[in-house]
């Protein structure tokens, strides 16, 4: 069976290459990356759906953030096949889960783009928080991003980490990949809550206008405006548990 034709993907040797692409090229790259992932898993077996579900997200994250300086953590790791292809491991992608080949999960010894090795769910936020605290203590300015699915988000470990992160007030980005699926369909009150959770686009637009106006005000009024915005956000969206834990929630975003 012939391999897919991927002229744009063939030019990507690491994320620095894709940061030079425009939006149209990024869409083409995502499609070629999807085909390459399908072809690789057809050879080796593995977690196909998890990787396909984050193709666009993977491209976007490596385009926006300066990886590996910015730390990108994939919860569990079995959705990281597209990530591996984009981070210099495409030539070995058809050795996934084979003896002497690439790991089916992220692995620190494999690449500097894998800052955390897991395979157990719900650990990414804890790991990210540790990296964020270490960054702050060292006086660095890089970003730390944890990508976690809705299935993993229903575990207590994730909320313990978020509670700690809110208390420490560290700059940590958490991306919830809410695709309503894990190895089995997620169940329970937390799953139902995530399915209902929204923050309106209209509110976000108004917030940006208000933010621009507030920045032109003296500091005293700026602080008052910020507090007013927090109350308005709770009124408009009904508030979210994430915000009560100290996070600013934005979403949902159709990826």
Share of the chain above pLDDT 90, in %: 58
Would you give the distance in Å from CA 193 to the centre of its chain? 20
> What is the number of alpha carbons within 13 Å of residue 250 lying toward its C-beta?
8
Please tell me whether residues 189 and 230 are part of one structural domain: no
Query: For residue 241, what pLDDT is reported?
Result: 77
Asked, for residue 252, whether it belongs to a domain, the answer is no
Please tell me whether residues 194 and 204 are part of one structural domain: no
Please tell me whether residues 78 and 148 are part of one structural domain: yes
Asked, for residue 250, whether it belongs to a domain, the answer is no
Please tell me whether residues 210 and 190 are part of one structural domain: no
Calculate mean pLDDT across residues 59-78: 97
Please tell me whether residues 179 and 113 are part of one structural domain: yes
Each residue of 187-200: pLDDT tens digit? Answer: 566 656 655 554 44
Model-level pTM? 0.79
Please tell me whether residues 49 and 87 are part of one structural domain: yes
Please tell me whether residues 175 and 105 are part of one structural domain: yes
Query: For residue 195, what pLDDT is reported?
Result: 55
Calculate mean pLDDT across residues 50-76: 96
Each residue of 207-232: pLDDT tens digit? Answer: 666 666 666 767 666 666 666 655 55
Query: For residue 201, what pLDDT is reported?
Result: 54
Please tell me whether residues 212 and 179 are part of one structural domain: no
Structure confidence at residue 205 as a pLDDT band (50, 70, 90): low
Assess contact for 120 and 76: CB atoms under 8 A. Answer: yes
Please tell me whether residues 56 and 20 are part of one structural domain: yes
Query: For residue 243, what pLDDT is reported?
Result: 79
Strands laid side by side in the 71-74 sheet: 71-74, 144-149, 173-177
Query: For residue 188, what pLDDT is reported?
Result: 60
Query: For residue 198, what pLDDT is reported?
Result: 46
Query: For residue 120, what pLDDT is reported?
Result: 83
Each residue of 110-168: pLDDT tens digit? Answer: 999 999 997 789 999 999 999 999 999 999 999 999 999 888 888 889 999 999 999 99
Calculate mean pLDDT across residues 29-40: 98
Buried b (16+ CB within 10 A) or exposed e, 182-217: beeebeeebbeebeebebeeeeeeebeeeeeebeee
Each residue of 43-57: pLDDT tens digit? Answer: 999 888 889 999 999
Please tell me whether residues 106 and 185 are part of one structural domain: yes
Mean pLDDT, the chain, whole residue set: 85
Query: For residue 69, what pLDDT is reported?
Result: 98
Domain tally, the chain: 2
Name the residue range of residue 103's domain: 9-198
Asked, for residue 149, whether it belongs to a domain, the answer is yes
Please tell me whether residues 187 and 205 are part of one structural domain: no
Please tell me whether residues 49 and 162 are part of one structural domain: yes
CATH number at residue 134: 3.40.50.970
């Amino acid at each position: 069976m012939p391999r897919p034709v991927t002229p744009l993907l063939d030019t990507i040797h690491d994320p620095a290459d894709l940061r030079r692409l425009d939006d149209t090229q990024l869409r083409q790259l995502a499609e070629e990356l999807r085909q390459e992932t399908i072809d690789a898993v057809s050879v080796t077996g593995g977690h196909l759906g998890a990787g396909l579900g984050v193709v666009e997200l993977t491209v976007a994250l490596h385009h926006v953030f300066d990886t590996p300086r910015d730390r990108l953590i994939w919860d569990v790791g079995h959705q990281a096949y597209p990530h591996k292809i984009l981070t210099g491991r495409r030539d070995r992608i058809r050795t996934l889960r084979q003896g002497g080949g690439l790991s089916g999960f992220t692995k620190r010894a494999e690449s500097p783009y894998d800052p955390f090795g897991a395979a157990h769910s719900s650990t990414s936020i804890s790991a990210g928080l540790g990296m964020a605290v270490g960054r702050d203590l060292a006086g660095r300015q890089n970003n730390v991003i944890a990508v976690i699915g809705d299935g993993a988000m229903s575990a207590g470990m994730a909320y313990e980490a978020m509670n700690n992160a809110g208390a420490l007030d560290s700059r940590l980005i958490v991306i919830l990949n809410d695709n309503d699926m894990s190895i089995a369909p997620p169940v329970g009150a937390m799953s139902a809550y995530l399915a209902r959770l929204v923050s309106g686009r209209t509110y976000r637009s108004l917030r940006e206008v208000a933010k621009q106006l507030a920045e032109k005000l003296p500091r005293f009024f700026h602080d008052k405006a910020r507090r007013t915005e927090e109350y308005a956000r709770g009124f408009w969206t009904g508030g979210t548990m994430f915000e009560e834990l100290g996070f600013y929630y934005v979403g949902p975003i159709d990826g």
